[in-house]
């Protein structure tokens, strides 16, 4: 089925709509002030990564084939870059306004970020003394001219740029000063003004004349470069090389990839901008002037100063004891009784970690197999695997070295695991292994017994307190056999073609999903109530979207809860009238994936690591697991219903792709707050 373009939105522009929803949280004066600062920081870091990865990828595509067109809106790479830059400029204006509003509110709590015009003569003199004593000896600089090559500017580092006029010459030069990275504290206290600060890069910029005494500075600005981070990890595959060493070498290349954005804190000489663009191979539309600091990492220091002001933060929430597992008792026997499920961050990750520790010391456990994608900096999961290996268990671990921006961490984890005696593998050529799968194999008097865990999120204790995720644990022998088959295939550098129970990309996920959507279409034709509910992070797969449109036209009612990118427009007459899309952006990052096909007794429930993206279904190893226990099915349906009824964090997608907040008609319903409160209530009653 080939659907016309009005049903679709470009992936990159849809992502910018998502980040706009994050920005809305920073703009919302109902949010606690320090949480608004968090959302503004998230907006900015999201945008940095988007520019580095997605815009960087578009630049690569443009160089390879400028006439190529993406498959939803038929836009060329250059058209996409232009549209992205235009939308990004508009969002930057709102970001700057949000920052100014936050700064104004901070004054009510005794915190001020000043410029030098707001500091008296004595204060400026004392800051100059500080600059000469502590900054000047550590600063270096570059003079750009015919005899000096243009320096390499590090990704996301801040530089002071000055237009220099020699007193004895007419020609101009450009001076570039690195602002120290982590050498200097970002917030510099202003003398005799408690709670008042200047940023260290602003201090350096102000006192540039001390660095360049032979020159008159006609204009100056802070600058920040964003570089392409879309490295080709497939090039690391070479049978003659150790894959881990090849990945390490490839990561060094990322630091030197081409520039994709230049940010400036002030207007400077137009000729200098042209010169910078020439050296950095940038166009004018890739230059952004910011009225706010180029990096918001100093927000965390301000928040630390305000920790005693509880009203400026969300009320504390702590993961609760699981309603489904009692970690005061052995975990493995509880899983053998019936399937269990944890719901992060409302419930604690402790039972899963306890399960690993029990398996490490249980005499009946023969082996533990696990896929690792992102880990905490001090990983208790790795500790459990190391303990198991040291206790003589066979421990097989697939460490995904291509997990973007976690490559270096995972390289180090793989070394530690190998040193402990674990067998470490790196996956399948050309594919990322994104599945969250753990298989414990036991040898008992009754025969082989499996304990299988399938999750929607990473084995990361830190993000389990921030991201909503699900962790299913089952003693089903059939599911255990499927999981064992997956690990055998991964060890052989292969993919599985078909499974009895688990759905496994890239060969056996998309087609089963299409078949189950077809089943709902047939249900409508038979006079039944066809229904789909899908909770995912992103929806970009055109084949699946075409099938959703076909289902909508057949009368299937479809609820989509899509946190981020959604390339499908809902509510278009005759096309997507039966599709309803919401996005929930709130205190926690919605990360769990749930698929529901049908209602009532017909309903089939799955949890998965896979979004409905082309890369997830066709270019990754992902796993979706059926939830068969009736109690757990009800829990999943309750999560879906609670989110669909949210009128606080939910935005409803309109036919033109815009999102609108719901206006509470009666009482406010915050799905994340409700699920947390239910976890607290269940914990206190012991249900």
pLDDT digits (tens, 9 = 90+) for 491-537: 999 999 999 999 999 999 999 999 999 999 999 999 999 999 999 99
Helix (H) or strand (E) holding 97, with range, is helix 77-106
Q: What is the pLDDT of residues 315-358, one digit of tens each?
A: 999 999 999 999 899 999 999 999 999 999 999 999 999 999 99
Compute the mean pLDDT over every residue in the chain, rounded to the nearest whole number: 92
Radius of gyration for the alpha carbons in the chain, expressed in angstroms and rounded: 27
DSSP 214-241: TEEEEEEEEEEEEE-----GGGG--TTS
- pLDDT higher than 90, residue 601: yes
Write down the pLDDT at residue 612.
98
Q: How far is CA 148 from CA 151, 176, 545, in A?
A: 8, 12, 54
pLDDT-derived band at 438, boundaries 50, 70, 90: very high
Query: 401 vs 164, 165, 237, 375, 615, CA distance in Å?
Result: 46, 49, 12, 12, 17
Q: What percentage of the chain exceeds 70 in pLDDT?
A: 94
Half-sphere exposure for 563 (CA within 13 Å, toward CB): 17
130-165 burial, b at 16+ Cβ within 10 Å, e below that, comes to bbeeebeeebeebebeeeeeeeebebbebbbbbbbe
Query: pLDDT tens for residues 56-93?
Result: 888 888 888 888 899 889 999 999 999 999 999 999 99
Higher pLDDT, 241 or 131: 131
Determine the Cα–Cα distance for residues 262 and 280; give it in Å rounded to an integer.
9
Q: Do domains 1-109 and 122-238+258-282 have the same CATH topology?
A: no
CATH match for 504-685 among 2.40.50.140, 1.20.120.550, 3.30.870.10, 3.20.20.60: 3.30.870.10
CB 18 within 8 A of CB 583: yes
Q: Is the pLDDT of residue 226 over 70?
A: yes
Flag whether pLDDT at 542 surpasses 70: yes
CA–CA dist 499, 397 (Å, integer): 21
Which candidate, 194, 176, 198, places its Cα nearest to that of 186?
198
β-strand partners of 160? 177, 222
pLDDT over threshold 70, residue 371: yes
324 Cβ contact partners less than 8 Å away, ≥ 6 residues apart: 340, 341, 342, 347, 632
CATH fold of 122-238+258-282 reads polyphosphate kinase like (3.30.1840)
Q: Is the pLDDT of residue 245 over 70?
A: no
- Answer whether 387's CB lies under 8 Å from 353's CB: no
Residue 236 has a pLDDT of 47
The SS3 of residue 3 is coil
Judged by DSSP in three states, 589 sits in strand
Q: Give the pLDDT score at 234.
A: 53
- Report whether 461 contacts 377 (CB < 8 A): no
- The candidate with the shortest Cα–Cα distance to 77, out of 86, 89, 68, is 68
What would the pLDDT profile of 373-408 be if each residue is shown by its tens digit?
999 989 999 999 999 999 999 999 999 988 777 788
Extract the tokens encoding 620.
């990754």
Q: Which CATH architecture has domain 1-109?
A: Up-down Bundle (1.20)
- What is the rounded CA–CA span in Å between residue 379 and residue 475? 25
Residue 182, pLDDT above cutoff 90: no
Exposed / middle / buried, residue 235 (Cβ in 10 Å: 0-12, 13-18, 19+) = exposed
Residue 634 has pLDDT above 70, yes or no: yes
pLDDT band at 5 (very low <50, low <70, confident <90, very high): low
434 tagged catalytic: yes
Mean pLDDT on 209-215: 92
Can you give the pLDDT at residue 685?
A: 67
CA distance 441 to 531: 37
Residue 531 near residue 605 (C-beta atoms within 8 A): no
Provide the pLDDT for residue 240: 42
Nearest Cα to Cα of residue 649 among 344, 316, 347, 314? 314
Cβ atoms of 541 and 510 within 8 Å: the answer is yes
Q: Is a pLDDT exceeding 70 seen at residue 104?
A: yes
Q: What percent of the chain lies above the pLDDT cut of 90?
A: 79
Per-residue pLDDT reduced to its tens digit, 549-573:
999 999 999 999 999 999 999 999 9
Quote the pLDDT of residue 246: 63
In this prediction, residue 687 carries a pLDDT of 55
Whether omega for the bond prior to residue 506 falls within 30 degrees of 0, making it cis, is yes
Please tell me the distance from the alpha carbon of residue 612 to that of residue 535, in angstroms, as a whole number: 10
Catalytic residue among 343, 434, 569, 580: 434
Residue 582 has pLDDT above 50, yes or no: yes
Say yes or no: domain 331-494 is CATH 1.20.1630.10.
no
Q: What is the mean pLDDT of residues 206-215?
A: 94
- The domain segmentation of the chain, as residue ranges, is 1-109, 122-238+258-282, 331-494, 504-685
Does the pTM exceed 0.85? yes
Asked if the bond preceding 677 is cis, omega within 30° of 0, the reply is no
β-strand 503-504 against 659-661: which pairing, if any? unpaired
Q: What is the pLDDT of residue 437?
A: 98
Angle at 402 between CA 396 and CA 405, to 5 degrees: 120
Residue 498 DSSP code? -
Cβ atoms of 538 and 516 closer than 8 Å = no
């Amino acid at each position: 089925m080939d659907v016309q373009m009005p049903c679709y939105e470009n992936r990159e522009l849809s992502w910018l709509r998502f980040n706009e929803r994050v920005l809305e949280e920073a703009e919302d004066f109902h949010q606690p002030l320090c949480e608004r600062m968090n959302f503004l920081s998230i907006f900015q870091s999201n945008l940095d990564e988007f520019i580095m990865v997605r815009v960087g990828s578009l630049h690569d595509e443009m160089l390879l084939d400028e006439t190529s067109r993406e498959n939803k809106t038929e836009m060329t790479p250059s058209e996409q870059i232009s549209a992205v830059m235009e939308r990004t400029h508009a969002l930057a204006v709102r970001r700057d306004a949000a920052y100014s509003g936050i700064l104004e509110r901070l004054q009510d709590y005794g915190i001020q970020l000043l410029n030098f015009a707001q500091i008296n003569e004595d204060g400026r003199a004392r800051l100059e003394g500080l600059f000469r004593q502590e900054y000047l000896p550590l600063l270096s600089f570059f003079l750009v001219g015919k005899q000096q090559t243009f320096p390499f500017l590090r990704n996301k580092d801040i530089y002071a740029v000055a237009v220099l006029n020699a007193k004895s010459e007419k020609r101009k030069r450009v001076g570039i000063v690195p602002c120290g990275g982590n050498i200097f504290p970002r917030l510099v206290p202003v003398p005799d003004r408690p709670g008042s600060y200047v940023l260290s890069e602003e201090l350096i910029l102000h006192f540039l004349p001390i660095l360049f005494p032979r020159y008159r500075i006609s204009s100056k600005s802070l600058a920040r470069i964003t570089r392409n981070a879309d490295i080709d990890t497939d090039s690391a595959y070479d049978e003659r090389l150790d894959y881990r060493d090849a990945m390490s070498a490839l990561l060094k290349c990322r630091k030197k990839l081409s520039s994709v954005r230049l940010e400036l804190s002030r207007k400077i000489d137009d000729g200098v901008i042209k010169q910078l663009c020439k050296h950095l191979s940038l166009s004018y539309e890739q230059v952004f002037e910011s009225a706010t600091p180029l990096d918001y990492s100093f927000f965390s220091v301000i928040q630390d100063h305000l920790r005693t002001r509880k009203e400026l933060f969300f009320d504390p929430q702590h993961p609760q004891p699981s309603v489904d597992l009692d970690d005061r008792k052995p975990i493995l026997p509880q899983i053998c009784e019936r399937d269990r499920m944890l719901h992060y961050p409302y419930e604690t990750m402790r039972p899963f970690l306890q399960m690993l520790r029990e398996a490490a010391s249980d005499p009946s456990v023969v082996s533990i197999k696990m896929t690792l994608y992102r880990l905490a900096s001090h990983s208790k999961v790795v500790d459990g695997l190391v303990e198991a290996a040291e206790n003589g268990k066979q421990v097989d671990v697939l460490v995904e070295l291509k997990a973007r921006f976690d490559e270096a961490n995972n390289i180090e984890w793989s070394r530690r695991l190998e040193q402990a005696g674990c067998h470490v593998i790196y996956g399948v050529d050309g594919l990322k292994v994104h599945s969250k799968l753990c298989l414990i194999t036991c040898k008992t008097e009754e025969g082989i017994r499996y304990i299988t865990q399938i999750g929607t999120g990473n084995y990361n204790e830190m993000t389990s307190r921030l991201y909503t995720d699900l962790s299913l644990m089952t003693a089903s022998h059939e599911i255990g056999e499927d999981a064992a088959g997956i690990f055998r295939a991964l060890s052989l550098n292969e993919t599985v073609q078909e499974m009895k129970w688990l759905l496994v990309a890239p060969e056996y996920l998309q087609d089963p999903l299409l078949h189950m959507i077809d089943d709902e279409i047939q249900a409508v034709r038979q006079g039944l109530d066809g229904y789909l509910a899908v909770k995912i992070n992103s929806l970009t797969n055109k084949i699946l979207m075409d099938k959703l449109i076909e289902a909508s036209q057949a009368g299937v009612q479809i609820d989509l809860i899509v946190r981020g990118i959604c390339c499908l427009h809902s509510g278009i007459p005759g096309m997507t009238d039966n599709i309803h899309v919401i996005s929930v952006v709130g205190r926690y990052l919605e990360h769990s994936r749930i698929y529901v096909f049908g209602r009532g007794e017909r309903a089939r429930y799955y949890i998965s690591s896979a979004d409905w993206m082309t890369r997830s279904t066709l270019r990754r190893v992902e796993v979706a697991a059926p939830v068969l226990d009736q109690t757990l099915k009800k829990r999943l349906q309750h999560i879906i219903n609670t989110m669909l009824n949210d009128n606080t964090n939910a935005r409803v997608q309109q036919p033109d792709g815009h999102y609108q907040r719901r206006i509470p008609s009666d009482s406010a319903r915050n799905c994340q707050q409700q699920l947390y409160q239910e976890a607290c209530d269940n914990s206190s009653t012991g249900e």
